[in-house]
Structure 1
Amino acid sequence: MKALVLHAPGKLEVMDVDDPVPNGEWVRIKVRRVGICGTDKAFYKGTYKPLKQPIIPGHEISGIIDMVGEKAPYELIGHKVTTEINIHCRQCWYCRNGMPTHCPYRETIGISRDGGMAEYVLTRYDLIHIADDLDFDELALIEPFAAVVEMIEMEPVREGSNIAVLGIGTIGLLSIQLLKLYNPDKIIAITRPGSPKAKYAYRMGVDEVLSFEEAMEYMEKYTPEGQGFDYVVEATGSPKGLEMALKLVRPRGVIAAKSTHGSRVSFD
């Protein structure tokens, strides 16, 4: 099969590699779409390291199951699917207590084992989600959207909140869509001046798209006592994003961070 292989930062190569063959509980997905996550870009830049190299990146995957191992249900073949990315052990304390994404023994598709930037990818059958009624573009967005749902469910937004979303890439835009369901007072998106993504943020329902400096002025003028936003989503992927979030959030407010910074961050 053809696969995009990352050998080192800045060194990507389209290669012919052996087709993977599933055994046991594993299944094979014929990949139809794969998203480019901020993590993948960080791998390429060298600001964040995958757990193995060379590696086939890609974990936002959609496709069709075309082969199954001997312990996987044969009737899965032909279904449109996406897959969870953390292949957990199913036995440790975290797995037994409903936190498989924190399993210390997990492997992660596209990060510690080969991912979906290839014609085929393997996953375990209990991690797939069948969605024959969705198109492949929608299916590839399930993984990042699930990450946003998990983030916000940890500390749900109160109705009538003032919200700031830092960064309007995939995670930021998906966050805006979900946050609208909580009936906030206002959602402000924050990005660099002149960002071509601003139109998408408005399409998702934000009230304003501002630069950081403009957001600080907005905060001082429109939030209670000028002390900050109730809820701040940090989705920039930059260490500076967390610093900005700390300046924007009110006392006892919430910062929901869903960024892979790839470097140390500090706060006071």
Structure 2
Amino acid sequence: MESVVIREPNKLVIEQRPLPLAANGEVRVKVKLAGICGSDSHIYRGHNPFARYPRVIGHEFYGIIDAVGEGVDPNRHGQRVSVDPVISCGKCYPCTVGKPNVCTSLVVLGVHRDGGFSEYVTVPAKNAHPIPDAVSDKHAVMVEPYTIAANVTGQVAPMENDVALVYGAGPMGLTTVQALKSVYKVQQVIVADRINERLAMAKACGADHIINNEQIDLAAFLNEQGLKPTLIVDAACHPSILQEAIGLASPAARIVLMGFSGEPCQIIQQGITGKELAIFSSRLNANKFPTVIGWLEKGLIDPDKLITHCFDYRQVVEAIELFETDRRKCCKVLLTFSA
């Protein structure tokens, strides 16, 4: 079989590897589609401190179970599945309180263990989630990105009367906008970004207000509109955003950080305690695959609004470079592995 392997930073090869065997409790998946994420680019460029090389990247993927290991129901053979990349121990404190995404011995497919940019991959059977017939292949491969939004919204419990402000109209911001508008029916969703084409995508995903915060002062706009954010989602993760969000937030608001920057962030604590703000963080997903598959079955979310490009996996370098350089036209890029 062929696999996309990062041998070392900036060195990517299509490598011939032996067909893997499903171990006890595992299934082997014949990969059909995989999605490129920013973390794949970071591993390729040597910017992910958790990755070890060589590594088969890819944590967003969908395929067909073509072999099962010992202890796995043989009837699972042939199932269409989307794979949760989060592998946890189930016994540590985070796991026992429902946060396997921060397990003390966390393993993430495509980061700590070889992932889905391969013709075949073996994964724990419990991580391979069946996809209903009503959900298309292209939507099935998008389950994992939407679980990030499901994890965020699951923590902050959006309400219809919230005024939600989302920083960043990249894939994670856009999935969150769709969840806020279509799943939680939030009446006011504002999106701030510096790329007009991405803002247009946010509008298509349901945003009520779109603001280019490089050209328009965000605080002044909110004041003019009489909007005081009660829920702020930082999907851009620049070190300056948290302090600005604290200043813009309504008293008793919730602020959630979807990612991180390696640079230090300075905040004034008085702004948090003075308003009694709640600050959340979110990493990966905590058992959200069934939630998102349910959203897809009900037609509550539309991945087609994010998918902009599709490449054969042998064109992976071209695909990653496009993902990295064309933020105006490129949002979600898929790789095809088999028909």
TM normalised by structure 1 equals 0.89
- Percentage of pairs with the same residue: 28
Letter in 2 for 1:149: A
Please tell me whether the aligned partners of residues 216 and 248 of structure 1 are also in contact (alpha carbons under 8 angstroms): yes
Q: Tell me the residue number matched to 2:222.
A: 219
Q: Tell me the residue number matched to 2:144.
A: 143
Distance 1:4-1:200 versus aligned 2 partners, 3 A rule: same
Distance 1:246-1:56 versus aligned 2 partners, 3 A rule: farther
Distance 1:37-1:261 versus aligned 2 partners, 3 A rule: farther
**Structure 1 residue 243: Cα displacement:** 4.8
* CA displacement 1:204-247 (0-9 Å, x = unmatched): 111222112523321222245xxx42111111254444455344
Please tell me whether the aligned partners of residues 48 and 262 of structure 1 are also in contact (alpha carbons under 8 angstroms): no
**Structure 1 residue 26: Cα displacement:** 0.9
Distance 1:4-1:157 versus aligned 2 partners, 3 A rule: same
**Structure 1 residue 112: Cα displacement:** 0.4
Q: Tell me the residue number matched to 1:118.
A: 118
In structure 2, C-alpha distance between the alignment counterparts of 1:203 and 1:15, rounded to whole Å: 39
In structure 1, C-alpha distance between the alignment counterparts of 2:265 and 2:48, rounded to whole Å: 14
In structure 1, C-alpha distance between the alignment counterparts of 2:12 and 2:265, rounded to whole Å: 28
Task: State the SS of the aligned residue for 2:158.
Answer: coil
Please tell me whether the aligned partners of residues 38 and 260 of structure 1 are also in contact (alpha carbons under 8 angstroms): no
**Structure 1 residue 158: Cα displacement:** 2.6
Q: Tell me the residue number matched to 1:47.
A: 47
Moved more, 82-91 or 41-50: 41-50
Please tell me whether the aligned partners of residues 151 and 256 of structure 1 are also in contact (alpha carbons under 8 angstroms): yes
Aligned residues: 264
Q: Tell me the residue number matched to 1:245.
A: 245
Letter in 2 for 1:19: L
In structure 2, C-alpha distance between the alignment counterparts of 1:246 and 1:7, rounded to whole Å: 42
Q: Tell me the residue number matched to 1:164.
A: 165
Q: How does 1:190-205 map to 2 (within 5 A)?
A: 190-194=192-196, 196-205=197-206
TM normalised by structure 2 equals 0.72
Structure 2 gap segments, 5+ residues each: 269-339
Please tell me whether the aligned partners of residues 25 and 69 of structure 1 are also in contact (alpha carbons under 8 angstroms): yes
* CA displacement 1:71-126 (0-9 Å, x = unmatched): 21111111100121111112333333332222212211111000111111221011
Distance 1:50-1:6 versus aligned 2 partners, 3 A rule: farther
The question of 1:57 aligning with 2:75 is answered no
Runs of 4+ in 1 over 6 A off after TM superposition: none
Q: How does 1:24-39 map to 2 (within 5 A)?
A: 24-39=24-39
Please tell me whether the aligned partners of residues 199 and 212 of structure 2 are also in contact (alpha carbons under 8 angstroms): no
In structure 1, C-alpha distance between the alignment counterparts of 2:195 and 2:174, rounded to whole Å: 17
The question of 1:72 aligning with 2:72 is answered yes
In structure 1, C-alpha distance between the alignment counterparts of 2:132 and 2:224, rounded to whole Å: 48
Q: Tell me the residue number matched to 2:127.
A: 127
In structure 1, C-alpha distance between the alignment counterparts of 2:248 and 2:20, rounded to whole Å: 48
In structure 2, C-alpha distance between the alignment counterparts of 1:94 and 1:183, rounded to whole Å: 30
Q: How does 1:89-100 map to 2 (within 5 A)?
A: 89-100=89-100
Task: State the SS of the aligned residue for 1:147.
Answer: helix
In structure 1, C-alpha distance between the alignment counterparts of 2:73 and 2:15, rounded to whole Å: 31
Out of 163, 186, 189, the residue aligned to residue 187 of structure 1 is 189
Distance 1:265-1:40 versus aligned 2 partners, 3 A rule: farther
Please tell me whether the aligned partners of residues 162 and 185 of structure 1 are also in contact (alpha carbons under 8 angstroms): yes
Distance 1:123-1:250 versus aligned 2 partners, 3 A rule: same
Task: State the SS of the aligned residue for 2:82.
Answer: strand
Moved more, 52-61 or 197-206: 197-206
Q: Tell me the residue number matched to 2:154.
A: 153
